Each structure stands twice: as structure tokens, then as C-alpha cells.
Chain A
Amino acid sequence: MMSKDKSDEEREIEMKSGDEPQAADAKPEEHRNRRHEASSKELVAELDTLSEELDRVQVELEETKDKFLRGLADFDNYRKRVTRERAQLTKCANEDLIKRLLDVVDNIERALDAASESEDFDGFKKGMELIYDHLKGILTKEGLCPIVCLGEPFDPNYHEAVMALEKEGHESDKVVEEVQKGYMLDGRVIRPSKVVVSK
């Protein structure tokens, strides 16, 4: 911007000197030389400032680059740590659940042992019912809940159609048979009910 103004000024001077009669041509010549000297001094000064600025900017760039690379490395380490921790957390969570399921395993083993010594089917059945309730209780505590579907309108968000049947006395698109129970865990479908749907 500065240098552009300068050259405009110079051009103006040159134009003026061209208009003047030849008689007084020594004066503008001198004038122009002085002008040139002054402007080259200014240019040198400007060059100095610019190269200083370039140095400064280069240092700044190096610093920023360094910061960026460090940040990137930090992030990478963070990600690795989170992945490791999450894997560990999953394992711990499994451990907790497995411990509680071991009670169920113990009880089934006891029931089987008892069944090999006695023929008391009613007693065995009652035992099994107790174990089943225990297991269901553990799973319910974990947030598991069965999907109730029989007679409901078919909803693919919760049900998976395995067959479509023409059934008399049934409205269309209703669940008429449950082939396999579906379950939700904490409000999320982990297994949809497999159902037969009326046409």
C-alpha cells in the first residue's frame, strides 16, 4: 500500500516535469535524484521490518506446529487409554454379573445331584421353579424385561415377523402367535419377539 502511493506520487512528478519547458530542466533532474535516494532508503527500512516480521512469524509457526503435534499425541494417548479402560470396565461388569449367576449354577448342580438320588419329580419341579425365579430376579435387576406381544398390533420396532397367516376372526397385522420371546434391556430391544402375524 505504501509503495503503491509512492509510485503514484513519482509518476505525478514525472508528468509535471514533462510539461515544463526545457529551459529549466536541471532543476527537476536534481529533484528526482533526491527523491530516488529517499525512496530507496525507505525501501531498505521496509525490507528490514518485513524480514523481521517474517522471522517472528516463522518462530510463531514453529511454536504452533509444536503445540499442534503435542496436542495430537495427547489425544492419541487419551484415546488409547479410554479404549483400554472401557475394555476393562466391560470385563468388570461381566465379572459382577457372572458372580451372581454362579449362585444359580450352584443351585442347578444341587438339584441335579438330588435328582440322581431320588425320583421325587414334584420336588424336583418345585426346586426348578425356585431356581428359575431366582435367575429371572437377577436378570430383572439388571434391567431385563420381556416384551409382551400376544394380541398386540404388529410393531417391527419390537417384533420380528417370521410368518404371515390368514386367520379367521382376527384383524390383520396383529400378533397371533409368539414363536420366541423378545427382551428389552434398559428400554432397548436386545432381541425382538419372533411372531406370527395375521394377514
Chain B
Amino acid sequence: MGKVIGIDLGTTNSCVAVMEGGEPKVIPNREGGRTSPSVVAFAKSGERLAGLVAKRQAITNPENTVFSIKRFMGRRFKEVPEESKIVPYEVTQASNGDVRIAILGQGLCPARDLGNGAPGA
């Protein structure tokens, strides 16, 4: 049987667990934490950072550090004028009206491009 994996993608922290002998077991991150910050960053070198590491460099790279992305997932640009103002990264609009995050000249989709990076750190 394939492994069953569960992800709690939170606005600020995320947690991943795997089923082991009928019970879920949390997978700790590299530093032993059971949750990791839901943060994804794109370094100037183009490197993609996730979790704690992304959070630690947020101050040096605010425009390319994405956090609290859950509030933009599945939303249309017109629905989130308040949220768009309080985050340091640039929130834009796709041709179909969906939210896009402008990072290093690319329009990234909150769910497709940014939702999968956080727990891996």
C-alpha cells in the first residue's frame, strides 16, 4: 500500500504527518521542529527557500519573501484589496481576474506555485 501523507497548510505555520501503523506521525523539519513557517522566498540568486530559512532572511529580501499566502489562495484580485496592501510582496491580477504574486518578473499563482514549498525545509 502507498504511504498516506497529511499536510496542514496553515497561514503562518504548516505541519506534515505520515501514517505509520495506523497512526499519524509528524515529520520534523531539519532543525527538529514539528511545524515549519509557511514562508517561501526567492533569493536574488534565484534559489528557492522554504520554511525557517525563508523566514530568517525575510528582512533582507521583503519583496521576494512570500508569507500568509493562504489568504490569497483561490481568491480573485478584486476580493483582496485590504490584504494586498498589508503584505510587502506585490499582489497583481491575472488575465482571468485571479490573484498573482509578482516575484522577479514572474506572476506566480498562490496555490500552484507557492503552496507546495513551505513544509520541505
Contacts and interface: CB of A to CB of B under 8 A. Distances in A.
Contacts of A163: 59
A164 B60 contact: yes
Contact of A156 (B22, B30, B32, B56): B56
Contacts of A154: 57, 60
Nearest to A162: B59
B60 A188 contact: no
B98 to A, nearest CB: 30
B59 A156 contact: no
Interface string B8-51: 00000000000001100000001110000000000010000100
Contacts of B49: 156
Contacts of A156: 49, 53-54, 56-57
A161 B21 contact: no
B70 to A, nearest CB: 22
Interface of A: 72, 75-76, 79, 154, 156-157, 159-164, 173, 188-190, 192, 197, 199
30 contacts: A72-B21, A72-B22, A75-B21, A76-B21, A79-B21, A154-B57, A154-B60, A156-B49, A156-B53, A156-B54, A156-B56, A156-B57, A159-B56, A160-B56, A161-B57, A161-B58, A161-B59, A161-B60, A162-B59, A164-B59, A164-B60, A173-B44, A173-B60, A188-B30, A188-B31, A189-B31, A192-B56, A197-B59, A197-B60, A199-B60
